[in-house]
Amino acid sequence: MSKKSSWRSRLSFYLLAIGSACGLGNLWRFPYIVGENGGGAFILMYVFIALTVGLTLLIAELMLGQYFGASILVVSKRVASQQKKPYHLFGWLSLCITAVTLAYYSVISGWVLHYLVQFLMTAFHSLDSSGVAQISMGSLYQNSWLQFLLASVHLLISVVIVVKGFSDGVERWITSLLPLFGLLVIILLVKSLSLDSTPDVLRFLFYPDFSKLTWASLGHAIGHVFFTLSLGFGTMVTFGSYFKTDEHLPGMGFRVAVVDTVISLLAVLLIFPIAFSSSKETLTDPSLLFEVLPQFLSKEKSGMFFGLVFFFCLWLAALNASIGLLETITANLVEKRPDLKRSRSAWISGFAILFITVFPAFSGTLFKNVKLKGHGLIEVLDSFLINGFLPIAGLGMVIISLLALSEIDRKKLFINENSPTSHSMYSHWKFSLKWVVPSAIILGIALQVISFFL
| C-alpha dist (Å) from residue 343 to 160, 222, 365, 393 | 9, 35, 34, 27
d(CA 379, CA 377): 5
* Least distance CB 235 / ligand PFF (angstroms): 3
Q: Of the candidates 1, 15, 16, 24, which one interacts with ligand PFF according to CB under 6 A? A: 24
Give the torsion through C-alpha atoms of 26, 28, 29, 31, to 10 deg. Answer: 80
* Least distance CB 385 / ligand PFF (angstroms): 11
Residues 6 or more apart whose Cβ sits within 8 Å of residue 395: 437, 438, 441, 442
- Per CB under 6 A, 20 contacts ligand PFF: yes
- Per CB under 6 A, 74 contacts ligand PFF: no
Residue showing the smallest CB distance to ligand PFF in the complex: 25
- Per CB under 6 A, 25 contacts ligand PFF: yes
Binding region for ligand PFF (CB under 6 A) out of 114-122, 186-194, 222-230, 282-290: 222-230
Burial of 294 (0-12, 13-18, 19+ CB in 10 A): buried
Question: Are the beta carbons of 229 and 19 closer than 8 angstroms?
Answer: no
- Per CB under 6 A, 235 contacts ligand PFF: yes
Give the torsion through C-alpha atoms of 230, 435, 73, 22, to 10 deg. Answer: 10
- Per CB under 6 A, 429 contacts ligand PFF: no
- Per CB under 6 A, 162 contacts ligand PFF: no
- Per CB under 6 A, 257 contacts ligand PFF: no
The number of residues making up the chain comes to 454
Burial of 126 (0-12, 13-18, 19+ CB in 10 A): exposed
Round to the nearest angstrom and report the end-to-end CA distance of the chain: 48
Binding region for ligand PFF (CB under 6 A) out of 227-235, 307-315, 409-417, 438-446: 227-235
Number of residues that bind ligand PFF (CB under 6 A): 15
Q: Of the candidates 109, 167, 228, 387, which one interacts with ligand PFF according to CB under 6 A? A: 228
- Per CB under 6 A, 360 contacts ligand PFF: no
* Least distance CB 3 / ligand PFF (angstroms): 17
Residues 6 or more apart whose Cβ sits within 8 Å of residue 325: 20, 98, 101, 102, 105, 233, 235
Q: Of the candidates 50, 325, 346, 400, which one interacts with ligand PFF according to CB under 6 A? A: 325
Question: Are the beta carbons of 156 and 310 closer than 8 angstroms?
Answer: no
- Per CB under 6 A, 23 contacts ligand PFF: yes
- Per CB under 6 A, 239 contacts ligand PFF: no
| C-alpha dist (Å) from residue 245 to 9, 235, 241, 410 | 15, 18, 9, 11
Comparison of 21 and 53: residue with beta carbon closer to ligand PFF = 21
- Per CB under 6 A, 324 contacts ligand PFF: yes
- Per CB under 6 A, 94 contacts ligand PFF: no
- Per CB under 6 A, 118 contacts ligand PFF: no
Biggest CA-to-CA distance, the chain = 66
Binding region for ligand PFF (CB under 6 A) out of 24-32, 143-151, 305-313, 368-376: 24-32
- Per CB under 6 A, 26 contacts ligand PFF: yes
Q: Of the candidates 37, 71, 328, 401, which one interacts with ligand PFF according to CB under 6 A? A: 328
Comparison of 37 and 122: residue with beta carbon closer to ligand PFF = 37
Comparison of 328 and 363: residue with beta carbon closer to ligand PFF = 328
d(CA 55, CA 249): 11
Query: If you compute the radius of gyration of the chain from its CA atoms, what whole number of angstroms results?
Result: 21
- Per CB under 6 A, 16 contacts ligand PFF: no
Comparison of 308 and 325: residue with beta carbon closer to ligand PFF = 325
Q: Of the candidates 204, 233, 310, 362, which one interacts with ligand PFF according to CB under 6 A? A: 233
Tally of CB atoms within 10 A around 67? 22
- Per CB under 6 A, 181 contacts ligand PFF: no
Helix (H, G, I), strand (E, B) or coil at 375: strand
* Least distance CB 53 / ligand PFF (angstroms): 16
Comparison of 192 and 328: residue with beta carbon closer to ligand PFF = 328
Angle at 386 between CA 22 and CA 365, to 5 degrees: 100
Binding region for ligand PFF (CB under 6 A) out of 144-152, 228-236, 287-295, 329-337: 228-236
* Least distance CB 281 / ligand PFF (angstroms): 26
d(CA 190, CA 203): 18
Comparison of 28 and 296: residue with beta carbon closer to ligand PFF = 28
Output DSSP code: residue 287: T
- Per CB under 6 A, 185 contacts ligand PFF: no
Q: 372 pairs with which residues across the strands?
A: 375
Name the residues that contact ligand PFF, by CB under 6 A. 20-21, 23-26, 227-228, 230, 233, 235, 321, 324-325, 328
